[in-house]
Amino acid sequence: MQASYKKHVLDFKRPSGTSRGVLTQKETWFIKIEETGQYGYGECGILRGLSVDDRPDYEETLKWACDHIYQGLDELYFKLEGFPSIQFGLEMAFRSFHAQQPFELFPSGFTACEKGIPINGLIWMGEEQFMLRQIEDKIKAGFDCIKMKIGAIDFDTEIKLLSGIRKRFSAREITLRVDANGAFLPAEALQKLARLAELDIHSIEQPIKAGQWEEMAVLCAETPLPIALDEELIGVFDAQEKQKLLKIIKPQYIILKPSLVGGFRGSDTWINLADKQDIGWWITSALESNVGLNAIAQYTFMKNTSIPQGLGTGSLYTNNVSSPLIITNGHLWYGKPSQWSFQM
């Protein structure tokens, strides 16, 4: 068995704002494993400034993994604990290699085009009018769950935008989620959560920066609306440490990005621990290309969850891989496999 990799820089159609800055490009690496004419493909993608494996030796480690592909997935996964996105790329590639079709990793009603996955419509940060246009576009497109990134512009303006949605649509008609990406200070967070709760917000992701377990635990105990941990999960590899985090903080939800938490195996560990503590969860892409998004979507469908997932990122780029993934009426669907255009 041999393996190789290729870097691909994804270009955003328009600059996409978060509380950590504006994104114009996203780096990713495709993996190809092959043996006797059989192929498998995976994707290793990092988010600069967020991924725990955003390190100078990243590409060197990826090359090492490809050079040692003969060791097999189990051995490599163990040795690459500090590189969750490479773990995920290898999981993807090996599953692709053993599949009947290289991009049908988890055959199901989803890949058979029988069922779609409910997803949230993502609203990026920006000027008020830009955000308002996005909101209107998502509602027209049939989304009944909207997720708005907050924390980069004036909080009163953000409240005004959310209020505008809520005046037109009740919580039964449109579910509103917000993602602060750690933008709030602990001293002000509870007050801001109270204002958001008045608008029947479903949940808020990561209100304060990760790593403040005690402060986050207080927030989760006193919050007037559910809190979902996101960045808090990054870099926590040991199962006992994961369990400790959930027991101390006691969040209402956790959000799983396979590229950031060690792929399918890492996500499964978090899900099992969360289920034991009656903590809800959903799965989100980490701005992968359609290769990675496809794997995450198929994995997610197998979890039989009805809550909207964060899988609407496939149309963000000008140079994405052509794929069968399409969004219709707030659901992600898998179309004809012949629509794949991936070559490596």
244 as an active site residue: the answer is: no
Residue pointed to by tokens 């504006």: 22
CA dihedral 245, 224, 286, 93 (to 10 degrees): 50
Catalytic residue among 138, 192, 242, 257: 257
**Residues constituting the chain:** 344
Question: What tokens appear for 166 in the block?
Answer: 């809520």
257 as an active site residue: the answer is: yes
CB-CB contact of 21 with 129 (8 Å): no
Burial of 20 (0-12, 13-18, 19+ CB in 10 A): middle
CA dihedral 127, 131, 137, 140 (to 10 degrees): -140
Question: What tokens appear for 210 in the block?
Answer: 């990760």
Buried b (16+ CB within 10 A) or exposed e, 260-288: bbbbbbbbbbbbebbeeeebbbbbbbbbb
Residue 313 CA to residue 300 CA, distance in Å, equals 15
Residue 138 CA to residue 123 CA, distance in Å, equals 8
Closest CA to 293 of 321, 272, 265: 321
Residue 288 CA to residue 46 CA, distance in Å, equals 9
Catalytic residue among 26, 149, 192, 242: 149
Residue 27 CA to residue 49 CA, distance in Å, equals 12
Residues with active-site annotation: 149, 257
